[in-house]
Amino acid sequence: MSFFFRMASRLRPSTPEEVVRSIKDSFLALHTRTHAKALEEVEKNMSSLRLLIFGDGEVEPNEEQVLQITLEICKEDVISLIVQDLPSLGWGVRKDLAICWCILLRQKVDETYCCVQYLENHLELLDFLVGCYKNLDIALNCGNMLRECIKYPTLAKYILESGSFELFFEYVELPNFDIASDALNTFKCCRICLPSTKL
């Protein structure tokens, strides 16, 4: 795997700016090129991103590079692209994305969580993720992403007080047991994170 990682490093963009630009371009291409070809590029780029910020078990990620990639992702509005294009992504890409999402949200510059701050300025993305419970294909992925967001008080507070939160009362009664259970788990996480907030 480490051999693959070294080879990928030679073949794929190497600087944080190049990595993020390649990711952004591939997501934008989903709407302008043959979907299958564009999706293949997205898959390659997200796999490369996962290796860069998570490692492969043998090669540890470079912390400074991870931070720079995070800053570029926020600067280039890649988070918005990733969230809004979730319904178009395949299972493998969504799996890589779930891993990357957790790592990216935890990156700090001084005392600021960069991606959390980005989401605070683009709260409509949280509403979008809540609404994705209606999509059977991506509901569980979005649930994982939402629970990661809920770990941060400002994001949890928004979700809990937003109009879209009422949808959870519908989601917990969905006929699909896995999705209903996941929605209930997310609902409980919101209440645990902000127990003093009244419904």
Same domain, 58 and 130: no
Residue 62: band (very low, low, confident or very high) from pLDDT cuts 50, 70, 90: confident
The neighbouring-strand residues paired with 109 are 112
Same domain, 31 and 71: yes
Same domain, 90 and 159: no
The continuous run of DSSP H or E covering 109 comes out as: strand 108-109
The continuous run of DSSP H or E covering 180 comes out as: helix 177-193
Same domain, 25 and 84: yes
Same domain, 92 and 188: no
Q: What is the pLDDT averaged over residues 56-81?
A: 91
Q: Which of 86, 121, 156 is the last residue of a domain?
A: 121
Q: What is the pLDDT averaged over residues 97-108?
A: 93
Angstrom distance (rounded) from CA 171 to CA 142: 13
Domain extent at residue 158? 123-199
Q: What are phi and psi of 122, to 5 degrees?
A: -140, 60
Angstrom distance (rounded) from CA 56 to CA 7: 13
Tokens of 102: 């957790």
pLDDT for the residue numbered 4: 39
Which amino acid, 197? T
Residue 102 has pLDDT above 60, yes or no: yes
CATH number of the domain within which 42 lies: 1.25.10.10
Residue 58 has pLDDT above 80, yes or no: no
Asked if residue 160 lies in contact with residue 113, where contact means CB atoms within 8 angstroms, the answer is no
Same domain, 136 and 77: no
Residue 177 has pLDDT above 90, yes or no: yes
Q: What is the pLDDT averaged over residues 78-95?
A: 93
7 or 194: which leads in pLDDT: 194
| Percent of the chain's residues with pLDDT above 70 | 90
State the pTM of this model: 0.86
Write the CA distances from 15 to 20, 22, 126, integer angstroms: 9, 11, 30
If phi over 0 gives left and psi between -120 and 50 gives alpha, with beta otherwise, what is residue 90?
Answer: beta
Same domain, 77 and 130: no
**Tokens 């492969």, residue?**
56
Same domain, 74 and 115: yes
Residue 33: band (very low, low, confident or very high) from pLDDT cuts 50, 70, 90: low
Asked if residue 94 lies in contact with residue 88, where contact means CB atoms within 8 angstroms, the answer is no
Angstrom distance (rounded) from CA 12 to CA 14: 6
Angstrom distance (rounded) from CA 155 to CA 139: 19
Same domain, 76 and 5: yes
Residue 3: band (very low, low, confident or very high) from pLDDT cuts 50, 70, 90: very low
Q: What is the pLDDT averaged over residues 86-109?
A: 92
Residue 194 has pLDDT above 90, yes or no: no
Angstrom distance (rounded) from CA 23 to CA 26: 5
Q: What is the pLDDT of residues 129-174, one digit of tens each?
A: 999 999 999 999 999 999 999 999 999 999 999 999 999 999 999 9
Same domain, 107 and 133: no
Residue 1 has pLDDT above 80, yes or no: no
Q: Which of 60, 89, 121 is the last residue of a domain?
A: 121
Same domain, 31 and 82: yes
| Percent of the chain's residues with pLDDT above 90 | 71
Residue 111: band (very low, low, confident or very high) from pLDDT cuts 50, 70, 90: confident
Same domain, 49 and 86: yes
Domain count, the chain: 2
Q: Which of 121, 142, 167 is the last residue of a domain?
A: 121
